[in-house]
Amino acid sequence: MNEFRRELEAELGSAVTFDPQQTKAYDHDLGEMPSVLMAQIRPVPDAVLAARSPEQVASALRIAARHGVPVTPRGQASSGFGGAIPTRGGLLVDLTPMNAVLGIDPDAGTVDVQPGVVWNALSARLRHAQLDLCTCPTSAPASTVGGWFATGGVGIGSFRYGSIGEVVQEVDVAGLDGRIVTVRGPEMELHHQTCGTLGVVTALRLACRPALPLRSFAIQLEGADGVPALLREARERLDAYSIAFSSAAYLRMRAMAEEEKPAIDRGLLALVTVTEPPGSIPDLAGVLAVAAAVGGTVLPEEVARREWEDRFYPMRIKKLGPALLVGEFYVPAAAFAEACRRIESALSGDLVGIEATAVRGDRMAVLAYLVDPGAGLLFPLRMAKALLPMRIARRLGGSAYAPGLWLASETERCLGSEKFAAYRRKKVQMDPGGLLNPGKLQVTRPRWFPAASLSWAIGIGSTLAGPISRRIPSRRFPAPRPAR
Ligand SMILES: Cc1cc2nc3c(=O)[nH]c(=O)nc-3n(C[C@H](O)[C@H](O)[C@H](O)COP(=O)(O)OP(=O)(O)OC[C@H]3O[C@@H](n4cnc5c(N)ncnc54)[C@H](O)[C@@H]3O)c2cc1C
């Protein structure tokens, strides 16, 4: 480590720190894990590079490779899947200082950015050029473009534009050999969703949409059975941009956290957002037709406006906690209602709220929230309950939402067999020593515990989740407080 330090400091000067006071700040992300599991890894990096240029990233990778030091890339650490947490100390590359917009091409409708640019800041820049983001996560006020691409995911706008992987056109990647290459197509796809385990992304080109105004409508459905029909109608009649769903239980949790009245008291609220060409009038007739086709009711404009304004704050319900357990998964739209029924039944003793985003290709990305006291001897067991929704979804043709430290054992299911096989071949070629973000994607079956895969242990925990879930409740609904 001494020789590594000498060489890194000689090449990168004050951009790098080995000060334990500073490196300690990078040992966590926004997720929650019991200390008994965190004790199985070395989450505090030995050194942190606050990267300001692609060349600095490339040099640091080359030096780390020469000394066999693991490297963890990090954006804003908002992912909660543990992807940005080091498992074996080493070098952490903080990409947030690389946050420049490199160029906007209004004719091509594209933007080139550094990986540390934050989504909402990018949106503001694009609007000056009459463009806007095709899709962004609901963490857009804080999270980075590079971090979302490396995690993979869907968000606002994914009903029309699909996942972040479908919006990014090419990326520059720095490898352990110190070279930076531009990749696109199937080669680029191997860097999407793989947590920087093949290289560190130093620039991205994204497709943009014309900056047309957005308008949201809130429709109350009696239940989730009407969701596939709603998606079909909203696509055909409205060419909707984004569709998000909140269960009445989730809205009740949010209302409890905010001490106000919930928007609905039963069923499901669908927030359908459309783009409006300038000068056109809102297609109210179309919205009413969509609602009628699925037996839903259009709610007052005020409800839709409020839901849209609140889109970046889904985690406010954590106030009810202190802890929030989150189960996240994909499921085919046709199986969404059944998934909701099974989750609510399996966790009937708990406070469970469901939020979902409709994705191009009739998929749903679903979040099941469980409010939990967050402490005590049984907390690790209760945490396993967050894996139960994913297990239920799997039986219905779904999968985990993203790999990462906690769900590394789901890698093959997340990526799909074909992409997984191609990824493995590339990993052997690019990083045979497993230095790039170790422990985040499981390439082989773990041979020993715990270093090989923490997520393997978590997988075992998840098989216990079913039997324990009813016996160890997290938190039941308290008596509702009077509405304001
Ligand atoms: C309130 C809230 C709302 C959220 N909403 C959504 C949502 O709508 N959709 C969704 O999918 N997720 C969502 N998330 C999860 C998370 O915000 C996203 O995954 C986010 O985009 C991650 O960005 P980040 O900058 O925080 O990345 P990090 O968490 O810092 O990193 C994520 C992963 O990418 C790797 N990485 C980071 N930068 C690079 C790089 N330049 N090159 C290579 N690898 C890199 C890291 O090692 C890590 O594995 C939400 C989280 C919160 C807290």
Residue 371: enclosing H or E segment and its boundaries? Answer: strand 363-372
Regarding whether 422 and 389 lie in a shared domain, the answer is no
Which residue owns the Cα nearest ligand 1 atom 20? 148
- As given in the structure block, the two tokens for residue 196 are 């920087």
Predicted local distance difference test score (pLDDT) of residue 339:
97
- Report if residue 88 sits inside a domain: yes
Predicted local distance difference test score (pLDDT) of residue 451:
42
Ligand 1 nearest-atom number relative to CA 30: 53
- Report if residue 478 sits inside a domain: no
Ligand 1 nearest-atom number relative to CA 195: 49
Cis link prior to 482 (omega < 30° from 0)?
Answer: no
Regarding whether 193 and 224 lie in a shared domain, the answer is no
Regarding whether 49 and 133 lie in a shared domain, the answer is no
- Report if residue 481 sits inside a domain: no
Residue ending a domain, choose from 210, 245, 260 = 210
Regarding whether 428 and 389 lie in a shared domain, the answer is no
- As given in the structure block, the two tokens for residue 231 are 């998606």
Q: Which are the contacts of 94, defined by CB distance < 8 A and separation ≥ 6?
A: 26, 48, 49, 50, 51, 74
Regarding whether 198 and 114 lie in a shared domain, the answer is yes
- Report if residue 476 sits inside a domain: no
The DSSP symbol for 436 reads: B
Give the range of the structural domain holding residue 72, as residue numbers without chain letter. Answer: 2-94
The number of C-alpha atoms within 13 Å of 183 and in the hemisphere containing its C-beta is: 19
Regarding whether 282 and 197 lie in a shared domain, the answer is no
Nearest to 208 by CA among 164, 257, 167, 152: 167
Regarding whether 368 and 315 lie in a shared domain, the answer is yes
Residue ending a domain, choose from 163, 179, 210 = 210
Predicted local distance difference test score (pLDDT) of residue 462:
62
Whether 75 contacts 96, CB under 8 Å: yes
Whether 184 contacts 172, CB under 8 Å: no
Cis link prior to 43 (omega < 30° from 0)?
Answer: no
Encode the chain (484 residues) as per-residue pLDDT tens digits.
789 999 999 999 999 999 999 999 999 998 877 777 788 899 999 999 999 999 999 999 999 999 999 999 999 999 888 899 999 999 999 999 999 999 999 999 999 999 999 999 999 999 999 999 999 999 999 999 999 999 999 999 999 999 999 999 999 999 999 999 999 999 999 999 999 999 999 999 999 999 999 999 999 999 999 999 999 999 999 999 999 999 999 999 999 988 889 999 999 999 999 998 877 777 788 899 999 999 999 999 999 999 999 999 888 888 887 888 899 999 999 999 999 999 999 888 787 899 999 999 999 999 999 888 877 777 777 788 888 899 999 999 999 998 888 888 889 999 999 999 999 999 999 999 999 999 999 876 555 544 445 666 666 666 666 666 666 666 655 544 444 4
- Report if residue 273 sits inside a domain: yes
Predicted local distance difference test score (pLDDT) of residue 479:
45
Predicted local distance difference test score (pLDDT) of residue 315:
80
CA–centroid distance, 95 to ligand 1, in Å, is 12
Ligand 1 nearest-atom number relative to CA 146: 41
CATH number at residue 198: 3.30.465.10
Ligand 1 nearest-atom number relative to CA 202: 41
Which residue owns the Cα nearest ligand 1 atom 7? 137
Ligand 1 nearest-atom number relative to CA 148: 21
- Distance from C-alpha of 26 to C-alpha of 83, rounded to nearest angstrom: 12
Q: In testing the pocket of ligand 1, which one of 29, 71, 96, 148 has its CB within 8 Å of the most ligand atoms?
A: 148
CATH number at residue 44: 3.30.43.10
- Report if residue 480 sits inside a domain: no
Q: In testing the pocket of ligand 1, which one of 79, 123, 192, 243 has its CB within 8 Å of the most ligand atoms?
A: 79
Which residue owns the Cα nearest ligand 1 atom 11? 153
Listed in order, strand segments (DSSP E) in 125-221 are: 131-133, 168-174, 180-184, 200-210, 214-221
Amino acid residing at 57: V
Regarding whether 74 and 135 lie in a shared domain, the answer is no
How many other CB atoms are found less than 10 A from the CB of residue 376?
Answer: 11
Regarding whether 332 and 242 lie in a shared domain, the answer is yes
Nearest to 327 by CA among 355, 348, 360: 355
CA–centroid distance, 93 to ligand 1, in Å, is 15
DSSP one-letter string for 107-151 = TTTEEEE-TT-BHHHHHHHHHTTTEEES-B-TTTTT-BHHHHHHH
CA–centroid distance, 472 to ligand 1, in Å, is 31
- Report if residue 146 sits inside a domain: yes
Overall number of domains in the chain: 4
Residue ending a domain, choose from 400, 419, 451 = 400
How many other CB atoms are found less than 10 A from the CB of residue 135?
Answer: 29
Amino acid residing at 426: K
Regarding whether 219 and 332 lie in a shared domain, the answer is yes
Q: Which are the contacts of 301, defined by CB distance < 8 A and separation ≥ 6?
A: none
For tokens 């385990």, the residue is 197
CA–centroid distance, 480 to ligand 1, in Å, is 34
Which residue owns the Cα nearest ligand 1 atom 31? 147
Which residue owns the Cα nearest ligand 1 atom 8? 137
- Distance from C-alpha of 401 to C-alpha of 151, rounded to nearest angstrom: 10
CATH number at residue 281: 3.40.462.40
Whether 233 contacts 270, CB under 8 Å: no
Predicted local distance difference test score (pLDDT) of residue 466:
62
> Would residue 223 be called left, alpha or beta, if left means φ above 0 and alpha means ψ between -120 and 50 degrees?
beta
Regarding whether 371 and 250 lie in a shared domain, the answer is yes
CA–centroid distance, 30 to ligand 1, in Å, is 10
Which residue owns the Cα nearest ligand 1 atom 37? 147
- Report if residue 477 sits inside a domain: no
CA–centroid distance, 483 to ligand 1, in Å, is 35
- Distance from C-alpha of 194 to C-alpha of 264, rounded to nearest angstrom: 39
List strands edge to edge, sheet with 71-74.
16-17, 47-50, 91-94, 71-74
How many other CB atoms are found less than 10 A from the CB of residue 326?
Answer: 19
Regarding whether 223 and 88 lie in a shared domain, the answer is no
Which residue owns the Cα nearest ligand 1 atom 38? 147
- Distance from C-alpha of 479 to C-alpha of 482, rounded to nearest angstrom: 9
**Gyration radius of the chain's alpha carbons:** 22
Whether 197 contacts 411, CB under 8 Å: no
Predicted local distance difference test score (pLDDT) of residue 469:
61
Residues with CB under 6 Å of ligand 1 are: 29-30, 72-80, 83-84, 95, 115, 137-139, 143-144, 146-148, 150-151, 153-155, 195-196, 200-201, 314-315, 437, 440
Q: In testing the pocket of ligand 1, which one of 27, 78, 158, 171 has its CB within 8 Å of the most ligand atoms?
A: 78
